[in-house]
């Protein structure tokens, strides 16, 4: 049964759909069967992007442990999995990615950092997690300057 959170699009792989929907057992089985860990959708979002975007922390941890690229950036937008977790307020996924060494200073196409996004959206737990990880509280967002 698939989650209402992800409606498969043309070209999505079974592993992509499982990661986007948070079906951990399916993610593990498909990885064990050799499914492509770096599969992307038509917009360049990886499995790790969609798991983080939807707050599926166990899927995020499994993908990271399997070697998923934590710094992959979505085409044109420059958004990493950590950015997607932060913008959607999934602090547990943010913490998991930070603990895995994801770049806390990653910026979007406008130069807005994760801390900008969290602050702009009032995501206080995410702001706290980023500050605890040492995010630059003085970074300038190019949109605002």
**Position 1 in a domain:** no
Q: Per the structure, how many domains does the chain have?
A: 1
Place of tokens 């499995």: 47
- Check residue 57 and report its DSSP letter: H
pLDDT digits (tens), the chain, 145 positions: 333 344 456 668 999 999 999 999 999 999 999 999 998 888 889 999 999 999 999 999 999 999 999 998 887 778 899 999 998 999 999 999 999 999 999 888 888 899 998 999 999 999 999 999 999 998 877 765 4
Full residue range of the structural domain in which residue 55 is found? 14-132
**Position 6 in a domain:** no
pLDDT at position 1, please? 35
Element (H, E) at 20: helix 14-21
**Position 23 in a domain:** yes
**Position 77 in a domain:** yes
Q: How far apart are CA 1 and CA 121, in angstroms?
A: 32
pLDDT at position 140, please? 79
pLDDT at position 125, please? 95
Q: What is the CATH classification number for the domain harbouring 82? A: 1.25.40.20
**Position 137 in a domain:** no
Among 58, 110, 113, smallest CA distance to 82 is for: 113
């Amino acid at each position: 049964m698939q989650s209402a959170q992800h409606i498969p699009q043309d070209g999505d792989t079974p592993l992509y759909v499982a990661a986007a929907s948070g079906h951990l057992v399916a993610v593990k089985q498909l990885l064990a069967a050799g499914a492509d860990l770096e599969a992307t959708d038509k917009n360049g979002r990886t499995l790790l992007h969609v798991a983080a975007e939807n707050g599926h922390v166990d899927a995020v941890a499994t993908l990271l442990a399997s070697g998923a690229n934590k710094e992959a950036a979505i085409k044109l937008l420059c958004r990493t999995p950590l950015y997607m977790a932060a913008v959607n307020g999934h602090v547990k996924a943010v913490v998991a990615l930070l603990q895995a060494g994801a770049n806390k200073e990653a910026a979007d196409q406008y130069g807005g950092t994760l801390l900008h996004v969290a602050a702009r959206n009032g995501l206080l737990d995410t702001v706290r997690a980023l500050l605890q990880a040492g995010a630059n509280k003085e970074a300038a967002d190019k949109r605002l300057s």
